[in-house]
A and B are shown apart, each in its own frame.
Chain A
Amino acid sequence: MGAAGDILELSARGLAAAIRGGELSASEVARAYLEQIDALEPSLHAYRRVTPELALAQAAAVDDARRAGQALGPLAGVPVALKDIFVTEGVETTSGSAILAGWIPPYQGAHARRLAEAGAVLLGKLTMDEFGMGSANENTPFEPVHNPWALSHVAGGSSGGSAAAVAARSCALALGSDTGGSIRQPASLCNLVGLKPTYGRVSRHGMIAFASSLDQAGPMAREVGDAALALGVLAGADPLDATSLDAPVPDYLAAVDQGARGGLDGAKIGVHRGALELEGLDADVRARFEASLTRLEDAGARVVDIELPHFEHAVATYYVLATAEASSNLARYDGVRYGHRSAADSLRQTYEATRHDGFGPEVKRRILLGTFVLRAESYADYYGRAMKVRTLIARDYARAFERCDLIASPTAPIPSWPLGAKIDDPLALYLLDMFTIGANLAGLPAISIPAGFTSAAPRLPIGVQLIGPRLAEPALLGAAAAHEARCDWHREQPQLLEARA
């Protein structure tokens, strides 16, 4: 082995095994990925910053450790990249915002630390919508990312750089963050597996806050097994995040292998049919969703009808609560302790000018909305009421899981769209989150998996989502693996890469 193309086609799990077995060196793997990044970045803009020196040093350390006969971590030598929301010691971290441009964190966040301890090789930081606010990666002061499946189209958001990089084989695995669908929707638009774990399953320490009661970090990968491998490294209690869960971390890879081999053995998959009748669901998306249900039935599952009576209120609830939390969290960007400062005569003018110059339009819009729902005159009618509707939504899921093991839906109501086509209609973009937001509001784990492509050109990926009860990641990964074992879409690569090969 050793040809760059072969290296890039290996899964993260396959790479880890090949490096552990001495068939590949971590250094040659890192070099193959760095070359791929150099070749594709001019068309993709998936990376905010590439860290070649760090990557080659980490890879050399893995090779040295192996030669010395030392034990290797589960991700030893696997080239990964982090959404730029993850604080990385010594590497510029911006959360996609001009207000943090040039900020070099003085500490390591939980995600970069756990990946490094597992032996992963960090290739760099990935572009994103500013502070995670967006569905298309167009809310950025930097270059918007392009979808490797159709360069004129969006890669989704807010973890769009993560999705584009994994799909383009510019990293073997990436981390994203998901507040209302920001891992699952770009995974769906780029033919990837994207897993949002149970709220608290993965630490939030060092993940720059957008909406603290909804934010969760998770893996984006080409295959289900890669997502399971990464989750095993990331999951677990963290004394620096009081909301992290002190629950045992199961063997996620075993769940994947069991699902792939053994099938679903009577598992009940719930479908809220009413959601499929709502305006705006693309015909191809619906057809691919129905085909995936058949595939899950072929694997031994039983599809049952469920009801989520407050489904239609999820988007409104989310945009009250997420903006309220964002307006509070983003108050810390005032030009005093870190990031950009605009010169002004008084302290108050410094705050106002810094925030005017440093934040982009979508962030300002959400700060204003969040300030509105939290101000004394509107608090009870907006924030307080939305917190009650959130309880009703969580209860809907709890009742549904009395009738089924997992809930299936499309991930996004439409496939990718041309860059620039929707940027002037924020509400229309918010409504695209209708299938993903419920899992965040109820704190549930959810996964998006490849489900095929559109029928007309350009050929665009479509994803299907599974939601599970709290801490049911093994069941989710098992079902996703059973689905994956019955199709080949995850093996397809964008034309961009075929042209290069």
Chain B
Amino acid sequence: MPDAASPLVRELASLARLELSAEEAAGFGAQLETILGYIQRLQSVEVEGVPEYLTAEQVRSGLRDDLERPELDAEQALAGVPVVRDRLVAVPRFKD
């Protein structure tokens, strides 16, 4: 099957570390075009001098005290890891 996906969808999928089949990529390309067409309407809003949104929580929030507290032990933390070797998280090679 020829790759009908736009270079944009391929680029986004690569940035997002997301493998897509040729069929998926073509379908998403068409849908993204429609959705981005709709989102274009924001370009018409006058935003000169308007600050980006900041929640009251962001204004208020500070640092917590740096205190020790009970956390998971190694067995608990490793229990959900897909592949464990010698009590370490195992992954395939990442360097040639």
B50–A391 touching, CB < 8 Å: yes
Contact with B along A347-362 (1 / 0, CB 8 A): 1111111011001010
Q: Contacts A106-B76, A388-B53, A443-B55 known; A355 to B17 CB distance under 8 Å? A: yes
Q: Determine whether A302 belongs to the interface, using a CB cutoff of 8 Å to chain B.
A: no
Q: Contacts A337-B80, A381-B43 known; A368 to B57 CB distance under 8 Å? A: no
Residues of B within 8 A of A389 (CB): 42, 45, 47, 50
A387–B53 touching, CB < 8 Å: yes
Complex alpha-carbon distance, A312 and B42, angstroms: 10
A199–B55 touching, CB < 8 Å: yes
Q: Write the chain B residue with the least CB distance to A378.
A: B36
**Chain A min CB distance to B17 (Å):** 4
Contact with A along B36-47 (1 / 0, CB 8 A): 101101110101
Residues of A within 8 A of B53 (CB): 387-388, 390-391, 394, 441
Q: Contacts A106-B76, A337-B80, A356-B18 known; A365 to B91 CB distance under 8 Å? A: no
B82–A371 touching, CB < 8 Å: no
Q: Determine whether A340 belongs to the interface, using a CB cutoff of 8 Å to chain B.
A: yes
Q: Which of A243, A359, A372, A430 contacts B32 (CB 8 A)?
A: A372
Residues of A within 8 A of B58 (CB): 243
Interface residues of chain A: helix, strand, loop or mixed (majority): helix
A341–B83 touching, CB < 8 Å: yes
Q: Determine whether B16 belongs to the interface, using a CB cutoff of 8 Å to chain A.
A: yes
A106–B17 touching, CB < 8 Å: no
Complex alpha-carbon distance, A312 and B79, angstroms: 47
Q: Write the chain A residue with the least CB distance to B34.
A: A427
Residues of B within 8 A of A430 (CB): 35, 38
Q: Determine whether A486 belongs to the interface, using a CB cutoff of 8 Å to chain B.
A: no
Residues of A within 8 A of B39 (CB): 316, 319-320, 382
Q: Determine whether B56 belongs to the interface, using a CB cutoff of 8 Å to chain A.
A: yes
Complex alpha-carbon distance, A430 and B34, angstroms: 12
A104–B80 touching, CB < 8 Å: yes
Residues of A within 8 A of B64 (CB): 239, 242
Q: Write the chain B residue with the least CB distance to A370.
A: B16
B18–A336 touching, CB < 8 Å: no
Complex alpha-carbon distance, A427 and B58, angstroms: 31
B17–A334 touching, CB < 8 Å: yes
Q: How large is the interface on B (under 10, 10 to 19, 20 to 34, 35 or more residues)?
A: 35 or more
Residues of A within 8 A of B8 (CB): 372
A365–B80 touching, CB < 8 Å: no
A385–B47 touching, CB < 8 Å: yes
**Chain B min CB distance to A472 (Å):** 14
Q: Write the chain B residue with the least CB distance to A323.
A: B35
**Chain A min CB distance to B74 (Å):** 11
Q: Contacts A347-B93, A381-B43 known; A427 to B38 CB distance under 8 Å? A: yes
Complex alpha-carbon distance, A270 and B83, angstroms: 56
Complex alpha-carbon distance, A245 and B59, angstroms: 12
Residues of B within 8 A of A404 (CB): none
A367–B82 touching, CB < 8 Å: no
B35–A385 touching, CB < 8 Å: no
Q: Write the chain B residue with the least CB distance to A335.
A: B82
**Chain A min CB distance to B9 (Å):** 7
Of B9, B41, B80, B93, chain A has the most CB atoms within 10 Å of the CB of B80
Residues of A within 8 A of B93 (CB): 345-347
Q: Which of B24, B80, B92 contacts A344 (CB 8 A)?
A: B92
Residues of A within 8 A of B55 (CB): 199-200, 213, 243, 443
**Chain B min CB distance to A501 (Å):** 43
Residues of A within 8 A of B35 (CB): 319, 369, 426-427, 430
Of B9, B12, B18, B47, chain A has the most CB atoms within 10 Å of the CB of B18
Q: Determine whether A202 belongs to the interface, using a CB cutoff of 8 Å to chain B.
A: no
**Chain A min CB distance to B24 (Å):** 7
Complex alpha-carbon distance, A239 and B55, angstroms: 18
Complex alpha-carbon distance, A338 and B77, angstroms: 10
Q: Which of B18, B42, B89 contacts A317 (CB 8 A)?
A: B42
Q: Which of B9, B19, B42, B79 contacts A104 (CB 8 A)?
A: B79
Residues of A within 8 A of B12 (CB): 368, 371-372, 375
Residues of B within 8 A of A387 (CB): 52-53
Residues of B within 8 A of A348 (CB): 17, 94
Q: Determine whether B1 belongs to the interface, using a CB cutoff of 8 Å to chain A.
A: no
B-binding residues in A (CB < 8 A): 103-107, 199-200, 213, 239, 242-243, 245, 310, 312-313, 315-317, 319-320, 327, 331, 334-341, 344-353, 355-356, 359, 361, 364-365, 367-369, 371-372, 375, 381-382, 384-392, 394, 426-427, 430, 441, 443, 470
By Cβ-Cβ distance, the 9 closest A-B pairs, closest first, are A387-B52, A347-B94, A341-B82, A356-B19, A390-B53, A352-B19, A388-B47, A106-B76, A351-B17
A-binding residues in B (CB < 8 A): 8-9, 12-13, 15-21, 24, 27-28, 31-32, 34-36, 38-39, 41-43, 45, 47, 50-58, 61, 64, 72, 76-77, 79-83, 89, 91-94
13 further interface pairs, Cβ-Cβ under 8 Å (given A319-B39, A336-B91, A371-B16):
A105-B80, A242-B64, A243-B57, A313-B41, A313-B45, A317-B42, A371-B12, A372-B8, A372-B32, A372-B36, A384-B52, A391-B51, A427-B35
